[in-house]
A and B are shown apart, each in its own frame.
Chain A
Amino acid sequence: MTSPKIAFNWASSCGGCEIAVLELGTKLVELKDKIDIVFWPVALDFKYSDLESMPDKNIDVTFFNGAIQNSENEHLAQLFRAKSKLLVAFGACAYMGGIPALANTKSKQQIFNSSYKETPTTDNPQNITPQTKFIVPEGELTIPKFYNTVKTLDQVVDVDYYVPGCPPVGSQIEKVVGTILSGELPPKGAILGASDKSLCHECKLEKTDRKVSKLVRTYETIPDPKRCLLEQGIICMGPATRGGCGAICLDANSPCRGCYGPLPNVIDQGAKMLSALASVFDAESEEDIRKLADSVVDPIGTFYRFGLARSLLRRTKE
């Protein structure tokens, strides 16, 4: 039997998901004998033409990380879909938009204005913003089209499995690769490399039923390392987030920000977190409730830090 062909790709993301694969370290060397890597931008030099020249369904599994923010991302998503037997949305961005999807709180025009015109360090007297085509003496130059709205991988192509995390933790990647190589595949659409319970189930901090009368942001306080952060007034996404990461942020005394995504059967992670947060408010009067609610500085960025593209509303109105 020939070894399975595996591909990794990198769309709109920071690249951390591919580094997470490298973090497997020596285990990767062992894995190398069992698999045949046919595409991997972070480590190996392959060209898009290599991919295009492959017959359809030539790749056994593609781990696709990153959101879809421009026409190149979308083109590659379609290409990998055609060339792969299994397509895995790998990491928070491919699964639910991730950090890049926070761009959905702005329009393309606002992003271009901020990046190319208004930032104090920008020196752009002619106010040039990227054009998809440009004619030079040598011919026409093209760059991908930047989209107004960031999308998840499964909003542009059919996806077989999802691996959450920003990035997915090493031990989980190992399990996922093992599961897929074993040939005993879970049902299509399954979330791999994560648990079915909330992060709070694996968090070691002590939980009581304490309510809070004041919210604090992480830079304003040094939390008690033994007690539940939410009960200390720090917004922790744990109650609305799928576990499986091992609560590593909490081990560093830092709140969960929700990168493992919504729990099973939850449609909208942000809505669930909003409910969970409201339930710890120690306020009865409308006035006190309003004060607490107003102290959440950036509701979208807090409740949809990683999941805006996968949420019900997906973007802000323009």
Chain B
Amino acid sequence: MQEKFEPKIVGFLCRWCAYTGADLAGTSRIKYPPNINPIRVNCTGRVDPTLVLKALASGADGVLIGGCHPGDCHYTNGNIKTLRRFKLLQNMLDQFGIEKERVRLEWVSASEGERYARVVESMTEEIRNLGPLNWKRKEMEVIA
């Protein structure tokens, strides 16, 4: 029998909203898949596209960038800066052949523990259906 594929997701979560939302999900004992590895950043505006590419190239099956809803950014507009980059990044990842579902930008406020759990849940399921990204393994077959 084939073992169930467990996606590895890296989450870059802003400390003011999404990370606090994730904390709330935890303290409220909301159940959600353990597939996400959250990394706290001060603002999604700090999430250089290099970080996303590096995560994917190093073996992640997906990346979640979680920030404050537009208008709520602790630093006024860091999340909008991220949105500008994200649209470009999405188009570029599409050209690389990486499915849209693997890299998501989601707005989660500090009070939305439930929403955070549902985002992680849906993302995990979508990626599970897509299967592993396996970028590292592909690298090995470069000469073929």
Contacts and interface: CB of A to CB of B under 8 A. Distances in A.
A151 B80 CA distance: 36
Interface stretch (B5-13, B15-23, B35-43, B88-96): B88-96
**Max count, chain A CB within 10 A of own CB: residue among B48, B56, B81, B92:** B92
A101 to B, nearest CB: 12
A272 interface: yes
A267 B50 contact: yes
A115 interface: no
B29 interface: no
Contact of B91 (A147, A268, A293): A293
A300 B89 CA distance: 10
Interface stretch (A80-88, A170-178, A273-281): A273-281
Interface stretch (A30-38, A40-48, A185-193, A282-290): A282-290
Contacts of A148: 141-144
A123 interface: no
A317 B50 contact: no
A294 interface: yes
A286 B83 contact: yes
Given A279-B81, A281-B84, A284-B80, A303 B53 contact: no
A312 interface: yes
A289 B141 CA distance: 37
B121 to A, nearest CB: 24
Contact of A274 (B49, B96, B139): B49
Interface in B41-88: 48-50, 52-54, 56-57, 80-81, 83-85, 87-88
B56 A313 contact: yes
B4 interface: no
Given A286-B83, A299-B88, A315-B142, A268 B50 contact: yes
B135 interface: yes
Given A289-B84, A312-B53, A294 B91 contact: yes
B68 to A, nearest CB: 15
A299 B95 contact: yes
B95 A105 contact: yes
A209 interface: no
A298 B89 CA distance: 12
B130 to A, nearest CB: 11
A317 B96 contact: yes
B84 A278 contact: yes
Interface in A286-318: 286, 289-290, 292-294, 296, 298-300, 303, 311-318
A209 to B, nearest CB: 15
Contact of B142 (A151, A274, A289, A292): A151
Given A267-B54, A300-B96, A274 B89 contact: yes
A149 interface: yes
B56 to A, nearest CB: 7
A21 interface: no
Contacts of A300: 92, 95-96
Interface string B131-144: 00001001101111
Interface of A: 105, 108, 147-149, 151, 266-268, 270-272, 274-275, 277-279, 281, 283-284, 286, 289-290, 292-294, 296, 298-300, 303, 311-318
10 contacts: A148-B142, A274-B89, A275-B48, A275-B49, A278-B84, A278-B85, A300-B92, A300-B95, A314-B139, A316-B95
Interface of B: 48-50, 52-54, 56-57, 80-81, 83-85, 87-92, 95-98, 135, 138-139, 141-144
Given A274-B92, A275-B49, A312-B56, 20 more contacts: A148-B144, A267-B50, A268-B49, A268-B50, A271-B48, A271-B50, A271-B52, A278-B84, A278-B85, A283-B84, A290-B87, A294-B87, A294-B91, A296-B91, A299-B91, A311-B53, A312-B53, A314-B57, A315-B138, A316-B96
